[in-house]
Chains A and B, each alone.
Chain A
């Protein structure tokens, strides 16, 4: 049986923001509030990585934060879907020349899905969630 399939109902999400510009983080909260309301699909932000099925990573990895990301990933119960959220997390965006950068998220931990955009629109986020669910079910 595809183990990942169990995750595809009511995904609980842990949000990790490392040196983001705040916009990605706000759009994440935004999809939880009444207009977009992803809670109707059972998606919920949780306070501990131990409760999470998925981890959203936003922002560029900087020297003070990168190690935390690795630690958190190690602490999480597997399987865990990791979503690189926004241009910064996907490719480091315009911060790829910063002296305080480390390496892109996908070189630190395995990434399941990328949601591009700066910041991604709420519709794009919901589309991303749907794609992650499909992937977990083994449909794509």
Chain B
């Protein structure tokens, strides 16, 4: 593949840097960017991961990262532009998944993307002063801007009757605040009758500026910061971050630490999938499933507590290893507890696969086809049900035990909600398989020796990835040899997955919207690092939507009898 890339980009390459066999940085001129991106994305079918913008003070730099999902090699296209009024051609029309990141770089770094269709703000509020870019180096750490009166104004909603194709269109706002959504998030559904014809996603209600905060924290402190990006992936983010720093250092950690990392990360996957399953049940009107799933989730949390001392924020990762060891004397009891989860998964599997109502509610609903999944660059359990065989754990985690134990990647074909559910249920079995094997192996190793001492971080750059319960987490760090990262770019899986809702929800029924929007298992805390429904023609709120969804289940249940 490396040669293929070299071949196809011939004549465009200014400098080819091979940091390691899995990390290639390719400098090109910005006028060649569009053609190079198209070649890599379309011809070689590499997946676009994310773009990273950097302020080098003398100029601006943007890295476009492409991943080869068969081998785990990352190719990063590097382009430079001027600091003031720098311009870079937009690639959002070639790669749909680049839409948001271009908007983000524009507002946070002040880089213009020529030819971009949408240049409105993504994360910052409307009263944020023009021309102030928080991620630039001259924006002091800890500075704050005055806030205008209507900073909460909704960006582009017009609650009035629209007419599209001669039919009346109404807008249904979902969010931003409702207790059924645990996080603030804001969708506007445009509907004609019962059909959803368009969807508008607004972000920024959860934006906390973590990338900037990381620039002022010590390398070791950043692990705790990135843990707080999201409570459910509170192991995946630190995992990806330490992977990035270890990639920079070229460090391999002790074997025991690899197993411990894998155990805690897989436990997190199980509890996250159980949580989603419970919520999905709730959205479909099966509240019993919700209560069950959350009850059994406690078992997993107990295990996490036993290992790390906390139920959620584990603080297990450190650069060079893990912070706490697993006691060999406790392993048998842990294995027993883990094994007790399997009958519970059987129960859920039976409930999902045998129930005709669940079939009727989820089969062929919210379908994301393979082509669209590629175009939107989705990852994880949103991509695998659409037939994409990609799992970062298989290909690109050096400092984990995934290559040392046996397990399978679950891939389904239809891309509908049913497949998304099945995929997650089956993944939990795989996780238990991994955990049990790791615990076995740990028993044969001596306790202690769980970290490699790291004293200094030399100048350089590193990319770390991890397969979080929702998909690929991406961390990029750059060091200048100092105590803190110069740039820390974070990309959470939902950032790519949520955008695909545009497609999955459109064309469906209003009563299916609740489950469709939930099916990607969105996590807005991650995505952004959003009640007050105003007067006007607001038809349903989330509660109403949930009621509709539950009614549909009831009706179907009646019919099926």
A interface, CB within 8 angstroms of B: 14-30, 33-35, 45-47, 59-60, 62-68, 71-72, 93-95, 97-102, 118-119, 121
Contacts and interface: CB of A to CB of B under 8 A. Distances in A.
A23 B145 contact: no
Interface stretch (B158-166, B203-211, B501-509): B203-211
B58 interface: no
Contacts of A27: 311-312
Nearest to B145: A99
A56 B312 CA distance: 20
B295 A35 contact: yes
Interface in B214-243: 216, 224-225, 228-232, 234
Contact of A64 (B145, B152, B225, B290): B152
B471 interface: no
B205 A22 contact: no
B408 interface: no
B207 A97 contact: no
B340 interface: no
A65 B147 contact: no
Given A59-B206, A99-B139, A118-B228, 10 more contacts: A14-B179, A19-B184, A22-B182, A23-B232, A33-B291, A33-B294, A34-B295, A63-B127, A64-B205, A65-B176
Contacts of A28: 182
Interface string B312-323: 110000000000
Contact of A45 (B143, B145, B177, B179): B179
By size class, the interface of chain B is: 35 or more
Interface of B: 124-125, 127-128, 134, 139, 141-145, 147, 150-152, 176-180, 182-184, 204-210, 212-213, 216, 224-225, 228-232, 234, 275, 290-291, 294-295, 298, 311-313, 523, 525, 530-532, 543
B208 A34 contact: no
Task: Tell me whether chain B's interface is mostly helix, strand or loop, or mixed.
Answer: loop
A68 B532 contact: yes
B208 to A, nearest CB: 5
22 contacts: A14-B179, A18-B205, A19-B206, A19-B207, A20-B525, A22-B183, A22-B231, A22-B523, A23-B230, A23-B231, A23-B234, A30-B294, A33-B290, A34-B291, A35-B298, A62-B206, A66-B151, A95-B213, A98-B212, A98-B213, A100-B134, A119-B231
Contacts of A93: 228
A87 B144 CA distance: 20
A40 B216 CA distance: 46
Contact of B128 (A33, A63, A67): A63
A14 to B, nearest CB: 7
Contact of B543 (A26, A35, A47, A97): A47
Given A27-B312, A68-B532, A94-B213, A17 B183 contact: yes
Given A19-B184, A71-B532, A64 B144 contact: no
Contacts of B231: 20-26, 119
A118 B183 CA distance: 17
A64 B125 contact: yes
B532 A15 contact: no
Contacts of A59: 206
Contacts of A21: 228-231, 234, 525
A15 to B, nearest CB: 4
Contacts of A18: 184, 205
Interface centre among B150, B205, B229 (most CB of A within 10 A): B205
A54 to B, nearest CB: 12
A98 B208 contact: yes
B542 to A, nearest CB: 8
A72 B225 contact: no
B543 to A, nearest CB: 5
Contacts of A25: 182-183, 231
Given A26-B232, A62-B205, A99 B134 contact: yes
A95 B226 CA distance: 12
Closest 10 CB pairs of A and B: A23-B231, A25-B182, A33-B294, A67-B152, A22-B231, A98-B209, A97-B142, A34-B295, A99-B134, A15-B179
